[in-house]
Amino acid sequence: MPTSKIVRTSIEAASPRTIKVLAVMTTEALFFAGLNARTARDLVKYPPIDSEPIRNMGIPLSTGADRIRIWINNDFRVPAKMKKLVSGEVTPKTTYSALKTLAGIK
Amino acid sequence: MTNRHLVSAVFCALLTGGVALAQENDPWSRFQLNADEIPKQTPWTEAASLSFVSGEGESSTDIDIAARYDWQIARDETSTVFVRGVAHVNDRAKSEEEVYKLSAGYHFEFGGASPAQSFGYSDLTLSYQQNTVFADLTSDPCVQSPGAVFCRDQEETRVIGAFATAFIPSGWESATPVLYPDSDGGYTFVEGSPDLLFSVSPVVSVFYDEVLDAATDPGTGLKIDGSAAGTTLTLGAYLSPRVLDYRVEFKASFKQMVAFSRDASRKPGFPANADLFTASLDYNLGKPSLLDDTGWRPAIGLSYSSGRDPLTGRKEKEETVLAFKLTHKAGK
């Protein structure tokens, strides 16, 4: 049986709770991968801890926080019908944990 | 209570208020505090400052503050409207400056999430400004008529409309230092940290300046009001090498003003061209500012400025100051 069919069959057979868990895991994985693509630090090799500010991860000096804010708006908040974040709501001092919360990931 | 005392008190209140507001994390409003009025706080933007200098037979106060509050205009917009209060006060002999400004404006931004895209921030602002025109008691008119109105400090009021854009082209800035938590609770540099932190960005503005209530001109004895319009280009730069863990910081900005329209009455006091150059070289005694920029931060620094700014009333002057600096930055 092809892999795609196995995945589709497994998802169709999964309970609503499992689907929710999968959705959260997928969103969190997309968040992590997206952040990793926007930082100079290899977040797989040096994983972020919740309390550290995003400036530790090597983001563009002036615009890094704003670029991350726009990405969170476009990829997480607008699809979830949350209000857009404005300039200053994500700063280089924003922690990894706070950033996840802003992206709607609990 | 003089204006200077009032501004000092407001400055202190804002500094502590800034902490409180930042911690509230109110999603509909933002509060910023710095020394400049450009649409975007950059690494070369000077921090708000309040300093008292006491020397032999002379003491002086120097205040530079721009406090701003933004409100989001709609849930699906990143544009904001804002109000801003600005004070530039310096009572050092021959460098006197006293400018107060209240502004309202509209802020919007353009650019993308990818570092490959350029980014810009724009402010459309209407301001009411009050500045002091200081008397020159050594000038010929004051020597001849010491009781004349222009031999006392005079207030001048004006309205200024401006549209300013701060533009940060792709590739004109480095990344922040790359750190990773270590076992001691601190941080260590890991691969990816740049050898040189840098940020270069231009700010372009178009302005219209109308004097509402002018000071009496010593040369003519008349109140010279009228309008002037023009453009300014400011190029700012920030550099910090990795040696000494980015503790050495160099900031510079060059502002060129060109007036393309001036009423005849304004021509003597408002030049067709003016430029202002500022630069500072600081050594941070504590942690490097980019690694820990909140709380008290001691530094030794050399600051240089040269030129004039007719929009703020700064007269032509050249200054070099070597100082121990103790700054406090609010924030989480």
Q: Other C-beta atoms within 10 Å of A101: how many?
A: 12
Is B52 exposed, middle or buried, given 0-12, 13-18 or 19+ CB atoms closer than 10 A? exposed
Please choose, from the candidates B248, B309, B299, the residue with its C-alpha nearest in 3D space to the C-alpha of residue B278. B309
Share of chain B above pLDDT 70, in %: 85
pLDDT at A5: 73
Share of chain A above pLDDT 90, in %: 60
Q: Is the pLDDT of residue B65 over 60?
A: yes
Per-residue pLDDT reduced to its tens digit, B248-261 = 999 999 999 999 99
- Residue in A55, A83, A84 nearest the CB of B176: A55
Q: What is the pTM of this model?
A: 0.81
Q: Which residues, 6+ apart, have CB-to-CB distance to B269 below 8 Å? A: B217, B224, B310
Ranked by mean pLDDT, which of A47-51, B61-65, B295-299 comes out on top?
A: A47-51
DSSP-derived 3-state class of residue B3: helix
Confidence tier at B288 by pLDDT (50, 70, 90): confident
Cβ of residue B114 closer than 8 Å to a chain A Cβ: yes
DSSP B193: -
Cβ of residue A80 closer than 8 Å to a chain B Cβ: no
Share of chain B above pLDDT 90, in %: 36
Chain B residue numbers with beta carbons less than 8 Å from the beta carbon of A84 are: 72, 75-78
Cβ of residue B123 closer than 8 Å to a chain A Cβ: no
B224: which 2 tokens? 């010279």
Confidence tier at B332 by pLDDT (50, 70, 90): very low
In this prediction, residues A5-22 reach a mean pLDDT of 73
Confidence tier at B22 by pLDDT (50, 70, 90): very low
Report the distance separating Cα B41 and Cα B32, nearest Å.
Answer: 9
**In chain B, which ranges are E strands?**
29-34, 49-55, 58-72, 80-90, 97-111, 119-133, 154-168, 179-181, 187-189, 196-213, 226-241, 248-262, 273-284, 295-309, 314-329
Q: Is the pLDDT of residue B331 over 90?
A: no
Q: Is the pLDDT of residue B16 over 50?
A: no
- Does an H or E element contain A26, and which? helix A16-37
Chain A residue numbers with beta carbons less than 8 Å from the beta carbon of B180 are: 41, 46, 56
Report the distance separating Cα B216 and Cα B142, nearest Å.
Answer: 12
Taking all residues of chain B, what is their mean pLDDT, rounded to a whole number? 82
Cβ of residue B12 closer than 8 Å to a chain A Cβ: no
Q: Which residues, 6+ apart, have CB-to-CB distance to B165 below 8 Å? A: B39, B120, B121, B122, B123, B203, B204, B205
In this prediction, residues B50-62 reach a mean pLDDT of 70
Tell me if B309 sits within 8 A of B257, measured CB to CB.
Answer: yes
Report the distance separating Cα A20 and Cα A15, nearest Å.
Answer: 9
Is B93 exposed, middle or buried, given 0-12, 13-18 or 19+ CB atoms closer than 10 A? exposed
Cβ of residue A78 closer than 8 Å to a chain B Cβ: yes
Q: Is the pLDDT of residue A73 over 90?
A: yes
Only one residue has tokens 């689907």, namely A19
Report the distance separating Cα B113 and Cα A74, nearest Å.
Answer: 9
Please choose, from the candidates B209, B48, B14, B9, the residue with its C-alpha nearest in 3D space to the C-alpha of residue B128. B209
B166: which 2 tokens? 């701060």
Please choose, from the candidates B56, B54, B51, the residue with its C-alpha nearest in 3D space to the C-alpha of residue B89. B51
pLDDT at B4: 61
Per-residue pLDDT reduced to its tens digit, B102-118 = 999 999 999 888 888 89
CB contact under 8 A, B199 and A61: yes
Alpha-carbon dihedral angle through residues B146, B149, B154, B158, given to the nearest 10 degrees: -140
Per-residue pLDDT reduced to its tens digit, A14-65 = 777 777 777 777 888 999 999 999 999 999 999 999 999 999 999 999 899 9
CB contact under 8 A, A61 and B173: yes
Tell me if A59 sits within 8 A of A39, measured CB to CB.
Answer: yes
Which of residues B137 and A94 earns the better pLDDT score?
Answer: A94
Share of chain A above pLDDT 70, in %: 95
Which residue in chain A has the smallest CA separation from B119?
A: A63
In this prediction, residues B229-257 reach a mean pLDDT of 93
Q: Is the pLDDT of residue B208 over 90?
A: yes
Tell me if B236 sits within 8 A of B41, measured CB to CB.
Answer: no
Report the distance separating Cα B133 and Cα B97, nearest Å.
Answer: 8
Cβ of residue B81 closer than 8 Å to a chain A Cβ: no
